[in-house]
Structure formats: structure tokens, C-alpha cells
Amino acid sequence: MSDPVLQLQKLAKTYNAGLPGEVQVLRGIDLTVQAGEVVALVAPSGAGKSTLLHMAGLLDQPDTGAVVFNGTDVTRLNDHKRTVIRRDEVGFIYQFHHLLPEFSAVENIVLPQLAAGTSRKMAEGKALDLLDKVGLKGRGLHRPAELSGGEAQRVAFCRALANGPRLLLGDEPTGNLDPATSDQVFGALMDLVRGTGLAAVIATHNLELAARMDRVVRLDAGQIVP
Ligand SMILES: Nc1ncnc2c1ncn2[C@@H]1O[C@H](COP(=O)(O)OP(=O)(O)OP(=O)(O)O)[C@@H](O)[C@H]1O
């Protein structure tokens, strides 16, 4: 069997360690995610969900413990190596789409591919293919302001998957949408993810959406709880 895509091993993180405002955010997190597995991360506000996702996505480093990516311990790699892994292997989606306002939907999906060395022709083809998959074939030339909230979020999903990552991390990606749109956009996300076989960790407060993922992991006070 191949290595899991992501292994978090005994992750611990304290902000302002030793100071009066010390916050022990993560207190020994163990989590393994296999290729093709979509894990729901359910956590109350302030439980450390964003901190955990930042560690998993190599945006931040734990005080102790390890982040193992495709069988390799990447916790203490230098910034350049971590940046390359992040760019080529990890997709992020957030509560807000964070698309570049001056660029069309297609361009927003093309740009990260150009940064990774893909030719413009290939990148545009991939962008159009992804937009088609999320039902936005006719919206490629629209700028973010010319898209609905749910459409913009679907474009953001396409952008996150444009470089063919092995891991997708979501921080409440449908949290900003009304229930009906959230449901529809989440369905588009799951179709997209299921078509790729990538591993995903998606944080959500929505227990109905969590139940549609493969496994639910609860985070409370910095620990995974049953
Ligand atoms: N840079 C920082 N310095 C100090 N404390 C921080 C820092 N970042 C986060 N914290 C604290 O760590 C705790 C966890 O924060 P985190 O953002 O991971 O929570 P969360 O579960 O994502 O919450 P939310 O759902 O509200 O976004 C919070 O109590 C927060 O105040």
C-alpha cells in the first residue's frame, strides 16, 4: 500500500509561549489522511482548526511533532522546499474566494499554473476543463465581481485544483454561503475531488456537510476528541 498523503504526528503549537498571553493551541494532534479520502474537521471556534490546517499546508511550523507528506518528513525543510511543495502539491480553499479582482475566472485559474511552469496553452485548457466540471463553462471571461458568491467559490475550487495537488485543505469553504448555495457548491466540490483521488481535509461547522465526507474528525481545545 502506498504512503498516506498526510500524516500529522503529535503536533503541538503554543502561541506566545512563556508569556502571560500564552495559548496552547494544538496539544498532540495525530491524524492520517489517505489518497482519495475526504476528512471533515469539525471544531468549535477557537479550537485550533486554522492553526492545524496551516501546519498541514506547510504555512506554519509546529513547536514539536511532525508533518509527513507522501512519506517524507517535511516539518523542518527550508522555506524554498516547503514553498515548492505547497505550490505543486497542496490546494487551499477558504471561506472567501480570494480571487484576484482584476482577472477573469480563466486567468485566476491559469496564473498558479504559469507559476508552476505550465505553458499558457495547457493552463488555459485545464482552466476551461475545470470550469466545465463545476458547471461554469459560460463564465470563464467573467471577473469575480461579475460572478455570484457560489460561482466565485467554485472558481476558487478550480484554482485550488489547477496544479493537480495531492492534498486539498479547506477552511470552511462554504461557510459564507446561504444554505441552498452551500449545499450545491459543496456538491460541486465533492464531484471535483472524487474525480481526482486527492486527499482532503475540510473544516466545517456544518454537521450535515461533514456527514457527506468519508470521515469526521473532531477538534476540541487543541486535541482530536472521539
Ligand atoms: N498568531 C497568533 N498569536 C496568538 N494567538 C493566536 C494566534 N493565532 C491564533 N491564536 C489563538 O489560537 C487559538 C486557535 O486559533 P485558530 O485560528 O486556529 O482557531 P479556529 O479553530 O480556526 O477558530 P475560528 O473557527 O474562529 O477561525 C485562538 O484562541 C486564537 O486566539
Tens-digit pLDDT profile for residues 153-208: 999 999 999 999 999 999 999 888 888 888 888 888 888 888 888 999 999 988 98
Nearest Cα residue to 162 out of 103, 85, 106:
106
The ipTM of this complex is 0.93
**CATH T-level assignment (fold) for domain 6-225:** Rossmann fold (3.40.50)
CA–CA dist 91, 200 (Å, integer) = 9
CA–CA dist 149, 185 (Å, integer) = 10
Decide whether any atom of ligand 1 lies within 6 Å of the 221 Cβ.
no
pLDDT of res. 1: 62
**Shortest-distance Cα residue to atom 18 of ligand 1:** 48
Residue 61 has pLDDT above 80, yes or no: yes
Tens-digit pLDDT profile for residues 62-103: 999 999 999 999 999 999 999 999 988 999 999 898 999 999
Residue from 14, 15, 174, 219 whose mutation best tests the ligand 1 pocket (most atoms within 8 A of CB) = 15
Decide whether any atom of ligand 1 lies within 6 Å of the 44 Cβ.
no
Q: In which band, very low, low, confident or very high, does the pLDDT at 143 lie, cut at 50, 70 and 90?
A: very high
Tens-digit pLDDT profile for residues 108-127: 999 999 999 999 999 999 99
* Inter-residue contact 135 to 191 (CB < 8 Å): no
Q: What average pLDDT does range 6-34 have in this prediction?
A: 92
Q: What average pLDDT does range 28-44 have in this prediction?
A: 94
